[in-house]
Amino acid sequence: MRIGLVLPDVMGTYGDGGNALVLRQRLRMRGYDAEIVEITLADPVPDSFDIYTLGGAEDSAQRLATRHLQKYPGLQQAAAKGAPVLAICAAIQVLGNWYETSSGEKVDGVGLFDVTTSPQETRAIGEVTTTPVLDGLSAPLTGFENHRGGTTLGPAATPLAKVTRGVGNGVGDGTEGVVQGSVIGTYLHGPALARNPELADLLIARALGIPPTDLPPLDLPVVDRLRRERLRA
């Protein structure tokens, strides 16, 4: 299994590269041969990986990432074939229809998400807890948000979850994240998959083409403790 870590040189501000590490470890613990392949600004984006992850970034880095993904559309081609993609925070905006920077510049996005993002008056910072609405997820999702963008979902996109604590997508509708086809986006840092193993296993199961219930369970008490601590935070 090959995990594509997309543009960690510009889209890795908040340690979201840890999501790829979680995927690799959970695969290896189940006996799968798994590797992480970093795709930087020096590389074209292959369309042949099994799972892709993208992290957060600031405005200037977002623009660099957007131009690179438009020039090398391997990620879009992989998603069209059903490869699971996890997009964190600014990556939601990059993969959307357009986003507006803090200086008011409007930038055309990659178009994998039917969403638009504009700056909000108040920055969203703090712990988030949500109730997932995506099939295959049942446990609360937790994470740390740090964004000023407010993301509005269009008719082709659906939310990942409903907010029970925190801000989420930031447009007042109580939603968090976005799902469209095989691509999942969330504003949750943490890294998200370290704090939400059920989401990690959903991505793995999709990459393997099996139901999540067919994955052998992993007994990881430290992960359970982390979740309990964060849910109480």
19 φ, ψ to 5°?
A: -65, -40
* 205 counts as catalytic: no
Tell me if residue 50 falls in helix, strand or coil.
coil
d(CA 146, CA 24): 26
Tell me how far apart the alpha carbons of residues 66 and 38 are, in angstroms, rounded to a whole number. Answer: 17
Q: Which two tokens stand for residue 139?
A: 């446990």
Collapsing DSSP to helix, strand or coil, 178 comes out as: strand
Alpha carbon 73 to its chain's center: 18
The catalytic residue among 23, 75, 89, 161 is 89
Q: Do the beta carbons of residue 117 and residue 92 sit within 8 Å?
A: yes
Q: Which of 26, 68, 147, 189 is catalytic?
A: 189
Q: Judge whether 55 counts as a catalytic residue.
A: no
Annotated binding site for substrate: 123
Residue 153's CB: how many other CB atoms inside 10 A?
21
CA proximity to 52, closest of 98, 95, 4: 4
Task: Tell me the C-alpha distance between 37 and 49, whole Å.
Answer: 9
Nearest C-alpha neighbor of 102 from the set 92, 91, 90? 90
Taking the C-alpha atoms of residue 15 and residue 92, their distance in angstroms, rounded to an integer, is 16
Active site residues: 89, 189
